[in-house]
Amino acid sequence: MDRFTCTICGHVYDPAQGEPGQNIPAGIPFEKLPADWSCPVCFSGKDKFEKV
Ligand SMILES: [Zn+2]
């Protein structure tokens, strides 16, 4: 699965780890995150992320 990085703060979403702080379990591809999901660090939307 592809990792995506936040173009604002550099946070990386890694599907192998999920996003424990947001109750996103491991194994969820970036594309499957909710449309209103936002970066846990800077709260940018999914449109600010790009594939690593
Ligand atoms: Zn960010």
Q: pLDDT for 5-51, tens place per residue?
A: 999 999 999 999 999 999 999 999 999 999 999 999 999 999 999 99
- pTM of this structure: 0.92
Question: What pLDDT is recorded for position 23?
Answer: 95
**12-13, strands of its sheet edge to edge:** 12-13, 4-6, 49-51
The alpha carbon of 5 and the centre of ligand 1 are apart by a number of angstroms equal to 8
The kind and range of the H/E element at 6 are: strand 4-6
Question: What pLDDT is recorded for position 1?
Answer: 93
The alpha carbon of 16 and the centre of ligand 1 are apart by a number of angstroms equal to 18
Closest CA to 6 of 24, 35, 30: 30
The kind and range of the H/E element at 12 are: strand 12-13
